[in-house]
Structure 1
Amino acid sequence: MPSRRQFLTTTALTAATHAFAAPADNDIRIALIGCGGRGTGACNQALSAGSMVKLVAVVDPLEGKAQAALDILKEKHEGQVDVPPDQVFTNFEDYQKAFALADVVLITTPPGPRPFLFEQAIKAGKHVFMEKPVAVDAVGVRRVLAASEEAKKKQLNVCVGFQRRYAPSYIDVINRIQGGEIGDLIYGRVYWNGTSRPGAPRLPGESELHYQIRNWYFFTWMSGDHILEQHCHNLDVANWVLQGKMPVRAVGQGGRQVRRAKENGTIFDHHTVEFEYDNGFRLLSQCCQIGGKCQKDVSEHFHGIKGSADLANNGRFLINGQPPGGKRQRAGAGNKEDAYQLEHDAFFENIRTGKVRNDADYAAHSTMMGVMGRMATYTGQIITWEQALNSKESLVPDNITWATEAPVKPDAEGWYPVAIPGTTMPL
């Protein structure tokens, strides 16, 4: 897990059907569902949102994960971690027990199970922090949108880990774009081009499901592929800039150039997609995990009839080549903004004060853009928004236990099926 992602935060709240009111002791009790590096970092930030936030339960079915997270969090937050042994859960189905103990639920599992867990948390009346992307297929996206409507009826807060939405640098520049400083928009470019990473080798005697969950990033049913798992951040920025306007069609190319090992599962190592909008705007999208001497770039760029805006370009935010305010400095210089912490601060402040903010709708649509892009690159076909959103492809089983059959299987030689553009058909 890259270091910058290990300090993403997750959280979810109480079993009430109305905005949360803190109990008499003023503690806000949280349960952590998913105790990997990302979940541990998320819980660290949730606990950093105030001394009244207390961790009371953890859930992770992979051996040792839950206790490892607790050891780290106890050291960082003395007095805020109160998790007795009988509240350290190691079965998938134990999420229900954790929900019952907590006011807030942090859903930081791999992406695949998130729609199911989010749906269950909202049914239980919990406020939720959920990592991004919120699903790996259109079926999951539709479930998240439906659960979001229920959250609105119950006045529940939902925060999603698109932390750029809480970053002052992004907020400032996007407000200025929407205010017309670069004029009507013509096209945009978004990038997440980075390094490759190794897959996990299989352990002796390991079951197929256990292996795929432990090596989750390399299986589309668990991660959604990196166009979704990482690049969704950039796609969400475009969604934000365009004020929620969705593309009407997408066409793309992708494949596997360096991922040639069995432990690389089913995902690609590069994707390039062109998203087209009904007003003629085009969004050019690139993401790769090639490594070597390939250019590395994580940034967003928008071009209008009056000029351009560059976001996070080498760490700088520029409008027509100049930083906002006229001072050339790196993002966060001076104010040391930490958007990961800011989103949790805002989430818990809303809970404390009875305000309600729900990020689920825009998060679901930004996730859907990633699914749409993957459908385009996996098939090599033009994919429309309606076709993507209404897709019947369902990658993830509900109520996963260790008895669940793995959704994909290797062949006799241990190789997993990989999409072939021009041959693989959309569902």
Structure 2
Amino acid sequence: MPHTSRRNFLKKTTALAGGLAFSTQLAAKAHSSVDDVIRIGLIGCGGRGTGAATQALSTEQNVRLVAMCDAFRDRLDASHKNIAGQLADNDLDAGRLSVSEDHKFVGFDGYKKVLELCDVVVIATPPGFRPIHFEAAVNAGKHVFMEKPLAVDAPGVRRVLKAAKAAKEKQLNVVVGLQRHYEKLYTDGWVEMMQNGAIGDITTSYVYWNSGGVWVRPREAGQTEMEYQMRNWYYFNWLCGDHINEQHIHNLDVGNWVKQAYPVKAAGFGGRHMRNGKEHGEIFDHHAVEYTYADGSRMISQCKHWKGTSRKVTEIFQGTNGSAPAPGKLMTKSGYALLDHNARKDPNPYQTEHDVLFAAIAKGEYKFADADNGAKSTMTAILGRMATYSGQDVNWDDALASNLDLSPAKYDFKADPKVMPMADGFYPVPVPGETEVW
């Protein structure tokens, strides 16, 4: 892809960032009534894939899960069993799970078979595979629900953006699992009022994902290096992109959404303080980044995985005429509450994003094109990682133009990933001031 200027890259697409509501008739296959069966395929059978498939099967439409694939058979079997259990627990028709043995595919190329059998695909593999699977889904003319983030490096982001353009041309609905765009706490006035100036110009944004971290999967006897890294995928950048990308993207995305813009540069620092074993691969356990927007405003970003420390996962905004101290709350300078949303009875946004997607598909409507914003918020996270890994100030245009491709030369369990353990069993870790991020 030729070098893309930031001006052409943005092109006012932030208007699409809030769970897009433009309505035209589908050029692709339309399901004109709820009596038509909508066939679902699942690519990636881990915990999030299992949850997303169950939520898709919990919509009001006549839906069937007809095909599944995963790199590992045990993951596929566990997912199938869990989905069946969830349907039973929620008194849903067991027939909604209609995956025969010959529609269960294992290995790196199983997604190709799934796409031959479905109308809508749920993509929930580790993020490193997202550009490949999304591109294939769009080429096959499928509607898509895919989890975030959408890539782990700039070449992957560019690939997603190209596929997103094709999805629009084909009028394929695409929903991305940045579920805050479907959560009433955010959509019931909070973001829109700030965009319309309720607290003045946003001068500083504060976004956080500070928590204790996630699972670790230990190395097992007989595993190849490729299988080990695939099983323990969170700790390798070609699969995950670091936790600033895999988790903190949610908060960074909200910052961009409120500003209706994407940063022009980033500077920051990070490292490994508590999570620094062999099993923790190459990623950092903390990042602190200062992003700058074109209007000079700043987004202050923190994310960490430190056990036993305070947890903070939220977004806060400071405006010239007031503040947003938490999602759903807006205050004037004098302390008057402009908005105080009570979210206790709000619907589950993880379910809502599937409800609206499948409702649109059943009606033959084109309403959702989330991939552009998903790719750019992914790029925001990658921009921050590039800054913390290198210790340098990094511009958006330079970062997006990077040709550093993290993917392995070959997708095969006998092939080696690009990052391999050293003689002592530890993996090389980025060193600010030395690590090249281009």
Give TM-score scaled by structure 2 length: 0.88
Shift of 1:23: 8.1
Measure the CA separation in 1 of the matches of 2:350 and 2:285: 27
Aligned partner (choices 279, 295, 300) of residue 310 of structure 2: 295
| Residue of structure 1 equivalent to 2:396 | 385
Measure the CA separation in 2 of the matches of 1:362 and 1:87: 33
Measure the CA separation in 2 of the matches of 1:416 and 1:53: 44
| Residue of structure 2 equivalent to 1:72 | 82
SS of residue matched to 2:269: strand
Measure the CA separation in 1 of the matches of 2:144 and 2:213: 32
Cα distance change of structure 1 residues 324 and 304 upon mapping to structure 2, 3 Å threshold: closer
CA contact (8 A) 2:268 2:388 kept: yes
Aligned partner (choices 202, 207, 212) of residue 224 of structure 2: 207
Aligned pairs for 1:223-372 (under 5 A) are 223-243=240-260, 245-292=261-308, 294-312=309-327, 317-320=329-332, 325=339, 329=342, 332-333=343-344, 335-356=345-366, 357-372=368-383
CA contact (8 A) 2:44 2:69 kept: yes
* Residue type of the alignment partner of 1:413: D
Cα distance change of structure 1 residues 322 and 235 upon mapping to structure 2, 3 Å threshold: farther
Q: Report the identity percentage.
A: 48
Runs of 4+ in 1 over 6 A off after TM superposition: none
| Residue of structure 2 equivalent to 1:52 | 62
Deviations 1:248-272 (A, max 9, x none): 1110000000112100001000000
Could you tell which deviates more after superposition, 347-356 or 200-209?
347-356
Higher relative CO (Cα under 8 Å, sequence separation at least 6) belongs to: 2
Deviations 1:101-135 (A, max 9, x none): 11111110010010011011111111111100000
| Residue of structure 2 equivalent to 1:412 | 423
Could you tell which deviates more after superposition, 398-407 or 356-365?
398-407
| Residue of structure 2 equivalent to 1:20 | 29
SS of residue matched to 2:303: strand
* Residue type of the alignment partner of 1:295: S
SS of residue matched to 1:79: helix
Measure the CA separation in 2 of the matches of 1:115 and 1:311: 33
Could you tell which deviates more after superposition, 80-89 or 367-376?
80-89
The size of the alignment, in residue pairs, is 402
CA contact (8 A) 1:273 1:285 kept: yes
Give TM-score scaled by structure 1 length: 0.91
Aligned partner (choices 213, 217, 226) of residue 196 of structure 1: 213
Q: Does 1:156 align with 2:168?
A: no
* Residue type of the alignment partner of 2:406: L
Deviations 1:321-343 (A, max 9, x none): 6665557x4xx21x332111111
SS of residue matched to 1:346: helix
* Residue type of the alignment partner of 1:69: S
| Residue of structure 2 equivalent to 1:219 | 236
Cα distance change of structure 1 residues 324 and 83 upon mapping to structure 2, 3 Å threshold: farther
CA contact (8 A) 1:299 1:310 kept: no
CA contact (8 A) 1:20 1:352 kept: no
Cα distance change of structure 1 residues 398 and 132 upon mapping to structure 2, 3 Å threshold: farther
CA contact (8 A) 2:61 2:359 kept: no
RMSD: 1.7
* Residue type of the alignment partner of 1:298: V
CA contact (8 A) 1:136 1:223 kept: yes
Could you tell which deviates more after superposition, 385-394 or 66-75?
66-75
| Residue of structure 2 equivalent to 1:10 | none
Measure the CA separation in 1 of the matches of 2:151 and 2:340: 40
Shift of 1:402: 2.1
Deviations 1:265-300 (A, max 9, x none): 0100000000011211011000000121x2210000
Structure 1 unaligned runs (5+)?
Answer: 1-16
